[in-house]
Amino acid sequence: MKEIVAAELAKRVKDGELLGIGTGSTVEAALEKIKERVVKEELDLHVVPTSVQSAWKCEEIGLKVLSPVYRGPISWGFDGADAVDGNNWLVKGKGAAMLQEKILAARCKEFVIIVDESKLVKDLRVCPVPVEFISEASSVVEKGLKTLGATKIALRPAVGKHGPIVTEAGNLIYDAEFEKIYPELEERIKSIVGVVESGLFIGYADEILVGGAAGIRSIKSSKVK
């Protein structure tokens, strides 16, 4: 299913565009399909990636990588998601890159989410919400999340080393489970002192492109951010 939606996404790329590139396995699958077009059609593409991992992948396939601090317009961008509900609200952040991913989503003229149908859920509570925070504020952030209805808060451990995972910005991540996901929750999490960003994306996606057994499905939405 991932390959199907990746191929569909790659068809939309046009020569000369500046694209925003998310992070994750579905994004990498799309980049492989884009690579095929770059080689075959000699496309000239510039990209703004959201992580070192994505930047390296883009360089590997011959795309011109710009710095995340580039201030010019971005034609459109794409990314994956860990869960998508019926409102086109998202939970992202398993790859610990949600800060740059949300910045990208806010900057793009059009932001497309690519997923397989297993990521479509009735209730976002099936996934914990990642919350990136500065280490000095751990107790303040934990208390604030509980006040907002978090029933379980876990410091995300690193893989391959002892201790917690550290984001590219040098921060830590709590994975928080909530009693309820509601429209104001994203902003309320962000208002906690010490929180850098959360993996709750409400109103950022212009389109959800879904790959499933029956083929490709496009779900449009109105961007409110």
The catalytic site residues sit at 101
Q: Which long-range contacts (CB under 8 A, 24 or more apart) does 41-47 make?
A: 41/15, 43/13, 43/14, 43/15, 44/15, 44/16, 45/13, 45/15, 45/16, 45/17, 45/18, 45/19, 46/17, 46/18, 46/19, 47/18, 47/19, 47/20, 47/21
What three-state secondary structure class fits 184? Answer: coil
- Of 24, 29, 32, 15, nearest to 49 (Cα)? 24
Helix (H) or strand (E) holding 2: helix 2-11
If one counts every other C-beta atom within 10 angstroms of the C-beta of residue 48, the result is 25
Q: Which tokens in the block code for residue 222?
A: 């109105």
- Gap between the Cα atoms of 109 and 131, Å rounded: 26
Residue ranges in 151-215 assigned as alpha helix (H): 185-190
